[in-house]
Amino acid sequence: MSAALETQGLCKSFGALAVASDIEFRLEQGARHALIGPNGAGKTTFVNLVTGVLTPSAGRILLDGDDVTALPQAQRVKRGLARTFQINTLFRGLSVLENVCLAIGERLGVAGDLYRPAGSRRDVVDEAYAALERLGLAGDAKRLVRELSYGRQRLVELAVALGLKPQVLLLDEPAAGVPSSESGIIVDIIESLPAEIALLIIEHDMDLVFRLARRITVLVQGAVLVEGAPQEIAADPRVREVYLGEREPA
């Protein structure tokens, strides 16, 4: 069976600075996989390469076995790849409900319709509202995103991505900037996601990683340092070196 997401020899450099070097990565179907690494390791760059925000200097990206390296972002989304952002990237001036409606409308292919009123698509609005209910956001449905606390906005981030019904979901630090009292909700939601979604979680918070992930890849200076089960990673001396900062600069 082909991997949900795979990269082969993925490279990206800005001038002399290599931010991704020869990354070989497999995200299995239905995986719960974490990508960790120190600041500046190239985790978000990796997400941007996979989703098509950035064009790789070399290498290939495969979604469910198909080469998508040359496809624009929107086409990759149509093939079931969705992401959330490390820093909230939402439609701040629109209501919470409408944020989710936009995603669902794109998925169902109604968003190009110039003629019929958006309000006539009851299916879109109802689905969006049901999604908000599941995430405990129904009470905020009518409020503008910019009026919500950052923690609540993090949930909208998730709701928008889930509205795309993805096969592969990349979560870029889903709990970043959320006080620990609120991050539990986010972890609960991620844990309760359908098993068939392949999840890649980029995260700093080790508690969260060890709770959610069944497999971990460690990225250091744009290259894969090691990959393995959580226990192996926790015991690996190289990983400890990186995280305890004892490694000499190369």
Among 24, 67, 113, 147, binds another protein (CB under 8 A): 113
CA 240 to chain centre: 25
* Residue nearer to another protein on the CB measure, 109 or 249: 109
Among 1, 16, 17, 119, binds another protein (CB under 8 A): 119
223: its two tokens: 């290259």
Q: Find the helix or strand (DSSP H, E) in which 101 lies.
A: helix 96-108
Sequence-distant (6+) residues with CB within 8 A of 161 are 82, 83, 84, 103, 169, 171
Among 36, 41, 125, 242, binds another protein (CB under 8 A): 125
Say whether residue 37 binds another protein (CB under 8 A): no
- How many residues form the binding site for another protein (CB under 8 A)? 50
At its nearest, how many Å lie between another protein and the CB of residue 76? 8
Give, as ranges, the residues between 46 and 85 that touch another protein (CB under 8 A): 51, 53, 73-75, 77-78, 82-83, 85
Say whether residue 162 binds another protein (CB under 8 A): no
* Residue nearer to another protein on the CB measure, 124 or 242: 124
Nearest Cα to Cα of residue 117 among 101, 141, 100: 101
Name beta bridge partners: 60. 8
At its nearest, how many Å lie between another protein and the CB of residue 121? 7
Say whether residue 89 binds another protein (CB under 8 A): yes
What whole-number distance in Å separates Cα of residue 76 and Cα of residue 147? 31
Say whether residue 112 binds another protein (CB under 8 A): yes
Among 102, 168, 200, 201, binds another protein (CB under 8 A): 102
Say whether residue 163 binds another protein (CB under 8 A): yes
What whole-number distance in Å separates Cα of residue 106 and Cα of residue 62? 23
* 11 phi and psi angles, rounded to 5 deg: -130, 145
Sequence-distant (6+) residues with CB within 8 A of 206 are 36
Nearest Cα to Cα of residue 160 among 143, 145, 175: 145
Say whether residue 160 binds another protein (CB under 8 A): yes
Give, as ranges, the residues between 210 and 249 that touch another protein (CB under 8 A): none
CA 166 to chain centre: 11
Name beta bridge partners: 7. 25, 61
Say whether residue 116 binds another protein (CB under 8 A): yes
Binding site for another protein (CB under 8 A): 51, 53, 73-75, 77-78, 82-83, 85, 89-98, 101-103, 105-107, 110-122, 124-126, 129, 138, 141-142, 160-161, 163-164
